[in-house]
A and B are shown apart, each in its own frame.
Chain A
Amino acid sequence: MRRSNKPLASRMVSPMGLLFNRFAFAFLLALGLTLLVAGRSGIGPVEQVRTGLLDVLAPVLDVISRPVSAINDLATEIEQLSRVYEENDRLRQENARLLHWQAVARALERDNAQYRRLLNVRARSDVTYITARVVGESGGPFVKTLLLAAGERDGVEPDQAVVSELGLVGRITEAGRNAARILLITDLNSRIPVMLEGSRRRAILSGDNSGRPLLAFLEAEAEVQPGDRVVTSGHGGMLPPGLVVGVVASVTENQVRLRPFVDLARLERVNVLRYRRPSLVNDRNGP
């Protein structure tokens, strides 16, 4: 049978085609709006479907992100190679300084252990790590998230803290079987209880999608200066206390902004903290 030579576009603009097209457009428009409303209000299985599809997409991203990761590693190595002498000199000086700090830390550790024994303090060592690769970024302007190639199968669960070697990155918001999503501390929806390390004044670290999240609800009488270190307070029991977050970047009359220690745009591997929250209920015996 000979195929019609009539171009598809002219076939598409036939009355039936036009009607179908308009119907499809209206249907998809309504579907999109429904998804938005359902997602916002938590109606229906939107979150479950999203997590399920994340599991399907994450392995694909994992595969195609490997060459990118290799190129990034190569670029970093070349960059480091170009300033190896300068770096070597810097590290030598830092090593001398750290050796001094090591001696101080050992002495303090001994003292601490002695005081703990005297006071019968219960040591908390219930934090373990899961190291995982970052395979995707949100990339969009309205959300700041990362995709992780580890999920429930590896022990990752929602609300766990995510850190890099430099400090806090964010927390897990979704966990599928093989993949999980991290909400970065800079995201609009991120709220982390923190405190100024020196004065122990509490605040809420509130993301606004910029690279410099706000320190909200800081006590009015709190003295804060650029350069002050900020750590997690552990209040609310979601995150372990004492995780380093960043330093105060700017202080104005209305707002205090923080510069995170972690370069959130260049993360390749992160650690998910498995932290047993303090609870009044005995987990072993059940409620």
Chain B
Amino acid sequence: MKPRRRKSASSRIGDGPGLPQLGFWRLGLAIPGLVSLVLVLMGSLPIGVPFLGPVLPAFGLIAVHVFALQRPDLMPHWLAFGLGLVTDLLSGGPLGLTALVFLGVQALSASQRRVLIGRPFVLGWAAFVAVALAAAGVSWLIACVYFLDLVNPVAALLQVAVTVTLFPLVAAPLLLLSHRMTGQAFA
């Protein structure tokens, strides 16, 4: 029997187990990883936004959070870690810093599935604010220890503000993608 499609509102951040029920081409399972990689690369493009200075939104963080929440099977620990390593390589920052942060975000977001799946989008957004702040706090602590200096936290907070502001724009297509991959309706 064909699985019954549930009418889900666009304001919902997720639904059900969020896992493949329809036969899916094996290669398609790499899509979240590839999309996340593209977002990580986009986060390194010289966009030239004057008021931001060299701080750019952490698109990779959004991707890791959304996919870990929606499809933890397609955003495993190693993938989150790998995306973080690529971010570190591109940024020239301490190698391993973002990798550890993304690993933590993946574990944290995946552990909150029961709390967040099926809740209104605004709640998901608020949860991301908490995740982004925690990630910035951990990054800042690691950076302080790494550089043996009290690193200025303003840039990290600015990045959180920009990333959180852009979250709906980036997360919406990612949610749509993960819903499509689960074969569930996303109105």
Contact = CB atoms under 8 A, between A and B. Distances in A.
Contacts of A186: 54
A85 B84 CA distance: 48
A143 B55 contact: no
A7 B71 CA distance: 11
A58 to B, nearest CB: 9
B84 to A, nearest CB: 8
A8 B45 contact: no
Interface stretch (B13-21, B122-130, B170-178): B13-21
B121 to A, nearest CB: 22
17 contacts: A7-B21, A12-B73, A24-B78, A39-B95, A40-B94, A57-B89, A64-B41, A64-B42, A64-B45, A137-B45, A139-B44, A141-B55, A141-B159, A142-B94, A188-B149, A265-B50, A265-B54
A35 B78 CA distance: 15
A184 B54 contact: yes
A271 interface: no
Nearest to A143: B93
Contacts, number: 174
Contacts of B98: 140
B169 interface: no
Contacts of B56: 137, 139
A56 to B, nearest CB: 9
B91 A143 contact: yes
Nearest to B50: A265
Contact of B100 (A29, A135, A136, A209): A29
Contacts of B49: 265
B44 A137 contact: yes
Contact of A188 (B90, B139, B147, B154): B147
A60 B41 CA distance: 9
B90 A61 contact: yes
A267 interface: yes
B50 to A, nearest CB: 6
A265 B50 CA distance: 6
B90 A25 contact: no
A270 to B, nearest CB: 11
A142 B139 contact: yes
Nearest to B44: A136
A141 B54 CA distance: 8
Contacts of B97: 36, 142
Interface string B99-116: 110010001000000000
Given A36-B146, A141-B55, A181-B92, 10 more contacts: A8-B73, A9-B18, A31-B81, A40-B146, A61-B45, A138-B90, A139-B54, A140-B159, A209-B152, A265-B54
Interface residues of B, number: 61
A272 to B, nearest CB: 16
B158 interface: yes
Interface string B52-64: 1111101000000
Interface stretch (A100-108, A144-152, A240-248): A144-152
Contact of A68 (B46, B52, B92, B139): B46
A25 B77 contact: yes
A231 interface: no
A134 B159 CA distance: 21
B6 to A, nearest CB: 15
A52 B159 CA distance: 28
B28 interface: no
Given A65-B45, A139-B43, A265-B48, A50 B93 contact: no
Contacts of B168: none
A3 B142 CA distance: 45
Contact of B91 (A28, A68, A139): A139
Interface in B69-92: 72-73, 76-78, 81, 84, 86-87, 89-92
